[in-house]
Amino acid sequence: MSMTFSGQVALVTGGAAGIGRATALAFAAEGLRVVVSDVDATGGEGTVELIRSAGGEATFIRCDVTRDAEVKALMDGVVAAYGRLDYAFNNAGIEIEKGKLAEGSEAEFDAIMGVNVKGVWLCMKHEIPLLLAQGGGAIVNTASVAGLGAAPKMSIYAASKHAVIGLTKSAAIEYAKKKVRVNAVCPAVIDTDMFRRAYEADPKKAEFAAAMHPVGRVGKVEEIAAAVLYLCSDGASFTTGHSLAVDGGATAI
């Protein structure tokens, strides 16, 4: 299926590594000009270099998505660099919780909700006017399989991803007739640097993580990137308000 993206512009937040980097590279490989954003400037610039070395066009803009002024400046930077915005992948997120609900702290709650929920809300708030100015476009938000059910010892994280799905569905309905589609991608456990750091000291935990998925392995960042590109493509032109699980069958159990 042709993605028909050539010459358009995509924004990827959380683009310094992992799923964000893979998606930025995938967008660029389809001919899009890509704005990469993250609080990690070194990683973000690294993603841009990878795109440019492959013959693509990309720009890095540092942004803390929890701050309205910085998100507004990011959108201004997108317009200054490329004159338009067609697609946005709101992927910036954190995952720092490792205990039962009653063991959580207010600081953890504020940090997780700040990036995962407020960050997505602020990005959509400032992206949607740019998409409307273009006559439409598509947004994909990173939720999680934790947003589709329970996540023991990660209750705040799960709540944040349920909230992302709520924001996604609400925005999708509000702007459906304006040709702005809004969907979410819901990964299960994905082989990222974060995953490797968490499990490298305990191979048995890594084996358990793989066994959580009926396909018998964890996911690849490229598989999430492919889902994001599909949701942005013309092939998904009748799809909005959807939360796409990319989970190796985990939510089918």
pLDDT (0 to 100) of residue 200: 67
Distances (CA, A) of 166 to 13, 143, 147, 159: 19, 10, 10, 10
Q: Which domains does the chain have, with CATH numbers?
A: 9-190+221-243 (3.40.50.720)
pTM for the predicted model, two decimal places: 0.96
Q: Which of 170, 234, 31, 118 is nearest to 126 (CA)?
A: 118
Asked if 82 is an active-site residue, the reply is no
Q: At which residue do the structure tokens 């299926």 appear?
A: 1
Catalytic residue among 82, 157, 175, 199: 157
Task: Kindly state the helix (H) or strand (E) to which residue 95 belongs, with its residue range.
Answer: none
pLDDT (tens digit, 0 to 9) for every residue of the chain, 253 residues total? 456 787 899 999 999 999 999 999 999 999 999 999 999 999 999 999 999 999 999 999 999 999 999 999 999 999 999 999 999 999 999 987 889 999 999 999 999 999 999 999 999 999 999 999 999 999 999 999 999 999 999 999 999 999 999 999 999 999 999 999 999 999 999 999 878 876 766 778 888 889 999 999 999 999 999 999 999 999 999 999 999 999 999 999 9
Q: Of all residues in the chain, what percent are helix, strand and coil, respectively (each to 5)?
A: 50, 15, 30
